Amino acid sequence: KGGKALKQFAVIGLGRFGTSVARTLSRMGHQVIAIDSDEAKVEALMDEVTTAVQADARDEEALKAAGIRNVDVAIVAIGENVEANILVTLIVKELGIKCVVAKAINDQHGKVLAKIGADRIVYPERDMGVRVAHTLASGNVLEHIDLSPEYSIVEIVAPARVAGKTLGQLNLRAQHGVSVMAIKRNDKILAAPGADDVVEEGDILVLVGRNKALERLQES
Ligand code: ADP
């Protein structure tokens, strides 16, 4: 599949988030060890991952037996039980896994995870809320990804008034400080388009820039 290096992952905690992460990685061709203390969660995913193991992830020996030390990335997707989430993050970090991604339910939780060495902290509920809100508030925004409090990537349907114009004519970078990363047209992607590329009606533009500028573009 492509030239992409395939990796080994462990996903610990197979709630809605963990299951979705494990399933997606597996479909991409990666090796996935999925772990949950709940037998039913493990069985539900068994056919879709490399190995599915029923174990309490607070048990270091059980994690070792599941082969956790071979993985490149461990994702701690335990949610509600913050104590278990923190403890398991600590254990997998101590087992020497290079990249540990942990799910946090709020900022305080995220701070603790950073202190104990989580390499990356994700806030799936909060981020999805932000994306859905932006999508709903503005009719033509299809996707919204926060890069920082000030910058985002958005996907918008090209407004009719820009159809037929080249990116050079639109001059978004000079006029708004917004760059066009890609143009999507009928399932095809034109990545890193140039000044001579023409925007057609119905195109989806993938833009990066300051939130203020992106909002202005959507209004104008
Ligand atoms: P989501 O919000 O993504 O659905 P949940 O918090 O509901 O996440 O689910 C977390 C999953 O983590 C559950 O399936 C639960 O059984 C599992 N889990 C919780 N504690 C442990 C633990 N100590 N070891 C392994 N799995 C655990």
Q: Which residues contact 8 (CB under 8 A, 6 or more apart)?
A: 30, 31, 32, 33, 70, 71, 72, 73
Q: What are the helix and strand counts (H, E) for the chain?
A: 9, 11
CA distances from 196 to 59, 72, 143 (A): 59, 42, 25
Q: Minimal CA–CA distance to 54: which of 39, 71, 66?
A: 39
Beta-bridge partners for 151? 210
Atom of ligand 1 at shortest range from CA of 84: 23
Model confidence over 137-167: pLDDT tens digits? Answer: 777 788 889 899 999 999 998 888 899 999 9
64-68, 74-78, 139-143, 216-220: lowest mean pLDDT where? 216-220
Q: Is the CB of 128 under 6 A from ligand 1?
A: no
Report pLDDT digits (tens) over 203-212: 999 999 999 9
Return the pLDDT at 120. Answer: 97
For ligand 1, whether the C-beta of 80 sits within 6 Å is yes
Question: 78 in ligand 1 pocket by Cβ < 6 Å?
Answer: yes
Residue 134 CA to chain centroid, in angstroms? Answer: 17
Domains and their CATH numbers in the chain: 8-122 (3.40.50.720), 127-219 (3.30.70.1450)
Q: Is the pLDDT of residue 195 over 90?
A: yes
Residue 114's pLDDT is what? 97
What is the per-residue pLDDT for 220? Answer: 58
- What distance in Å separates the CA atoms of residue 124 and residue 102, rounded to the nearest whole number? 10
**pLDDT greater than 70 at residue 124:** yes
Structure tokens at 77: 């997707």
Q: Give residue-wise pLDDT tens across range 158-191.
A: 888 899 999 999 999 999 999 999 999 998 999 9
Q: Which alpha helices (H) appear in the chain, and where do they start and end?
A: 16-27, 39-45, 60-65, 82-94, 107-115, 124-137, 167-170, 172-176, 211-219
For residue 38 and ligand 1, the question of a CB distance below 6 A is answered with: yes
User: How large is the ipTM?
Assistant: 0.95
- Compute the average pLDDT of residues 48-65: 98
Protein residue with its CA nearest to atom 26 in ligand 1: 36
**pLDDT averaged over the chain?**
93
CA distance 203 to 199: 7
Which mutation among 12, 33, 36 tests ligand 1's pocket best, with the greatest number of atoms within 8 A of CB?
36
Cβ(200)–Cβ(188) below 8 Å: no
146: CA distance to ligand 1 center in Å? Answer: 26
- Reading the block at residue 1, the tokens are 């599949």
Residues above pLDDT 90, as percent of the chain: 79
Q: What's the whole-number mean pLDDT along residues 67-95?
A: 97
3 against 206, higher pLDDT:
206
Say if ligand 1 is within 6 A of residue 90 CB.
no
pLDDT of res. 28: 94
Residue 1 has pLDDT above 50, yes or no: no
Q: Is 37 in the pocket of ligand 1 (CB under 6 A)?
A: yes
Q: Beta partners for 179? A: 208
The runs of H, that is alpha helices, within 28-106 are 39-45, 60-65, 82-94
